[in-house]
Structure 1
Amino acid sequence: MSPGRERGLTALLCAAGAGLVLLAAGRVWATVRAAGAITPFTEHVTGRDLGGAAGALGLAALAGLAALFATRGRVRQAVGALLAAFGAGAVYASVTSVQRDHVLDVAGDKRALLKLGAAAAMDVNLWWMVSVTGGVLLVLAGLAVLARSTRWPGMSSRYERADAPAPAAPRDDDAAGLWKSLDRGEDPTAGDGPAPAERRR
């Protein structure tokens, strides 16, 4: 596989991981039901409600994706290490967010009745696993950058700023010749033709 294709596939892996984490963050991760409360209720809790750390790491991974194309060498490897760290952090945040005590605390902040001693039942769906999957993909993308990015091409040369050529310094003999022609009454702007005074004769 060519280095350019490796870089493209790794970028797709990173984009897929970040996309899954961000997609899952806005979905309902858990549902809390309190049938024995004074007023029975059902509370839906999203990934953002449970802290939003995974979603923030997904956004950071998108920034890292852009840096994959703008950097090279050791800087690009540092970006790979950050991507792996973002992915591991998203996995950890997703797993800890759906722990029962944490979910009940968040639901209790949204519903005061839950804090009045109502017996609550909690159901967790699979969206948190989608976030975990995205985090794992980010870890794999980061490790691929660390292992293979030294072979990858940098940004295309058309995006790099070309140095403007330095203006040519005036030559001393050209300046001297210009003054001599003015002393003889010649028009330096007239090219090789005769001076105006010579044409009138």
Structure 2
Amino acid sequence: MTPARERALAALLCAAGAALPLLAAGRAWAHVRATGAITPFTQELTGRDLGGAASALGWAGLAGLAALFATRGKVRAGVGVLLVLFGAAIGYASAASIGASHVRAAAGEKSALLRLAADTSVDVNLWWAVSLAGGLLLLAAGLVTLLRGARWPGMSTRYERPAAATARTPATADDPSSLWKSLDRGEDPTDRTDPTDPADPTDPAGPPAGAARPAAGGTHRERP
């Protein structure tokens, strides 16, 4: 597999791993039923109700996706380490949030009737597993980045223009902005001669055209 395809695969894993916890966070992860209360009722709890740590780490994973393309070398390896940590933390937060005691405590904070209920039951669905799967994908993306990211290409530089090259570009008639800049500097944009050429006959600092030049190492003497 080429380095570009490896980077694309890691980016795909990172995007999916960050998106799944964000998708699952708004879904119902658990239901608490109060069967021993005066009026039996059911409390629905989403992933955010149970802590929201997984969704917060999902946003961090999306930031890591942008860093995959913007960095290179050791910095990109550091991004891979962060993605591994984010993925592991998402998996742990997703699994820990569905514990029965944690679910009952979160439900009791939302409803005082649940705290008064003599008997409660907890039902957990599979949305927490979706968030867990996202953490695993993010962890895999981090491992691929850490192990193979050093050989991946960086961002494209075709839009970058070196300042030195820009300064050496002469004003042409095809570029109106360059013509105006030359006029502002007091230059003649139609003059193609090099002002630093000593042989230039139009150079005001040079000798007039047709004038004799003194010989090297001696003085010029006129004949009587």
TM-score band, normalised by shorter chain? 0.7 to 0.9
What is the CA–CA distance in structure 1 between the aligned matches of 2:203 and 2:62, rounded to whole Å?
Answer: 63
Q: For residues 162 and 84 of structure 1, what CA distance do their matches in structure 2 show?
A: 36
Identity of matched residues, %: 62
Indicate the residue corresponding to 2:15 in structure 1.
15
Tell me the SS of whatever aligns to 1:158. coil
Q: CA deviation at 1:177?
A: 3.0
2:204 corresponding residue in structure 1: 178
1:60 aligns with 2:86: no
Query: What is the distance in 1 between the residues matched to 2:205 and 2:139?
Result: 72
Distance between the aligned counterparts of 2:103 and 2:38, measured in 1? 21
Q: Which residue of 1 aligns with 2:216?
A: none
Residues 65-117 of structure 1 deviation map (CA, whole Å, 9 limit, x = unaligned): 01101110001110110011000000010011111111111100111011124
- State the 1:178 CA deviation: 3.5
Q: Distance between the aligned counterparts of 2:148 and 2:34, measured in 1? A: 52
Deviates more, 1:82-91 or 1:164-173: 164-173
Tell me which residue corresponds to 1:69. 69
Partner AA of 1:3 in structure 2: P
Matches of 1:180 and 1:11, distance apart in 2: 63
* Correspondence 1:31 to 2:57: no
**Which structure shows the higher helix fraction?**
1
Who is 1:48 aligned against? 48
Shift of 1:162: 2.1
CA distance in 2, matches of 1:81, 1:92: 17
TM superposition shift of 1:158:
2.1
The answer to whether structure 1 residue 103 and structure 2 residue 129 are counterparts is no
Distance 2:97 2:9 in 1: 31
Shift of 1:171: 3.8
Task: Work out the CA distance in 2 between the residues paired with 1:172 and 1:69.
Answer: 47
After superposition, what is the alpha-carbon deviation per residue over 1:116-150, rounded to whole angstroms, capped at 9, x for unaligned? 24311100011101111110111111000000011
Separation in structure 2 between the aligned mates of residue 107 and residue 45 of structure 1, nearest angstrom:
7
Which residue pairs with 2:80 in the alignment? 80
Aligned residue in 2 for 1:163: 162
Structure with greater Cα Rg: 2
Show the counterpart of 2:140.
140
Structure 1 segments unaligned to the other structure (5+ residues):
182-201
Aligned residues: 181
Q: Look up the SS of the partner of 1:178 in the other structure.
A: coil
Note the C-alpha offset of 1:172. 9.0
How many angstroms apart in 1 are the aligned matches of 2:206 and 2:2? 64
The gaps in structure 2 that reach 5 residues or longer are 170-193, 208-224
Bigger RCO (CA 8 Å, 6+ sep): 1
Does the Cα contact within 8 Å between 2:94 and 2:132 map onto a contact in 1? yes
